[in-house]
Amino acid sequence: MALAAAGLDNCRFEARLLLAHAAGLSIEQLIARGNEPASPAVAAALRELTARRIQREPMAYILGEREFWGLPFRVSPAVLVPRPDSETVIEAALALMPDRDRPWRILDLGLGSGCLLLTLLREFPAARGVGLEASEPALAVAQANAAALGVDGRAELVLGDWRQSGWHERLGGPFDLLVSNPPYVEAGAIPDLMPEVSRFEPWLALDGGSDGLVAYRAIAAQAPRLMSPGSRLLLEAGIGQVIEIHSIFQSAGFGVEVPWKDLGGIDRVVSLTY
């Protein structure tokens, strides 16, 4: 099988996903019609999709969608593929802010597909949110997802870059909750990541500078202007970065809490109070 020869895992499952996508069927429909021969058009589409996957293009980009927190999110090469690790941010927010009906004000820095902010707006039906994104194509993806999930009326999605001075001035506030999955990969380590990431995912959303912490310093410098006493900040972190991130934010006047672990037992989300 071509997928196996390319060194991919779960080849049977991936082949089924590709065939279903080529045929325009759900997995359930594909199984129900499994004895039917594929049409020439479907066979040609499957060959094209398989060729893309052999080049290690992420399955989510090929399918155009990825599930996050049980919700469908449109994705493209303009945004990171939403990952289960990032669901830890949602888990932490729901546990630490148990009043689901309160009109929270939420800010997401580095919006990407919108998976963090839009999921939180679904979980907090009275909340309103602002999302900052430096990439115009990524912002368009997030806007489409906000509309598809029915929260676009409560989400203000803003084009802006925290690498530029004054980036915080257009965001309003204060906010009750600030969340972010910032770039945290050391720049020199990106080429060594798995091909699906290093070749296809946007480097703007990966590159955390020489030590992987540039975005955290930018957020720590301006976050106090966006928050009020009692506000909370939840940040996704890379492996082994929590201690240094704590130090950055403690120097900016934040209180640190016990980090939240992902399903692999890794300290994944830094929890901070202001």
Structural class in CATH, domain 76-273: alpha beta
Residues 247, 249, 255, 257, CA torsion sign: negative
CB distance 253 to 274 below 8 Å: yes
Average of per-residue pLDDT values in the chain: 94
For the cut 80, the answer to whether the pLDDT of residue 182 exceeds it is yes
Number of Cβ within a 10 Å radius of residue 164:
9
Band of residue 228 on the pLDDT scale cut at 50, 70, 90: confident
Q: What is the pLDDT of residue 28?
A: 83
Q: What is the pLDDT of residues 3-13, one digit of tens each?
A: 877 778 888 88
**Distance (Å, rounded) from C-alpha 120 to C-alpha 116?**
6
The model carries a pTM of 0.94
Per the model's pLDDT, the better-predicted residue between 191 and 11 turns out to be: 191
Please give the Cα distance from 217 to 222 (Å, whole number). Answer: 9
pLDDT at 1 over 70: no
Percentage of residues in the chain having pLDDT higher than 90:
80
For the chain, domain boundaries: 2-55, 76-273
Q: What integer is the mean pLDDT of 70-85?
A: 98
Secondary structure class of 180 (helix, strand, coil)? strand
- The backbone torsions φ and ψ at residue 85, rounded to the nearest 5 degrees and listed phi first, read -55, -40
Asked whether the predicted pLDDT for residue 48 surpasses 90, the reply is yes
Cα–Cα distances (Å) from 92 to 108, 183, 239, in that order, read 15, 20, 18
Tokens 């992987």 label which residue?
212
Tokens linked to 37: 């021969």
The pLDDT of residue 7 is 73
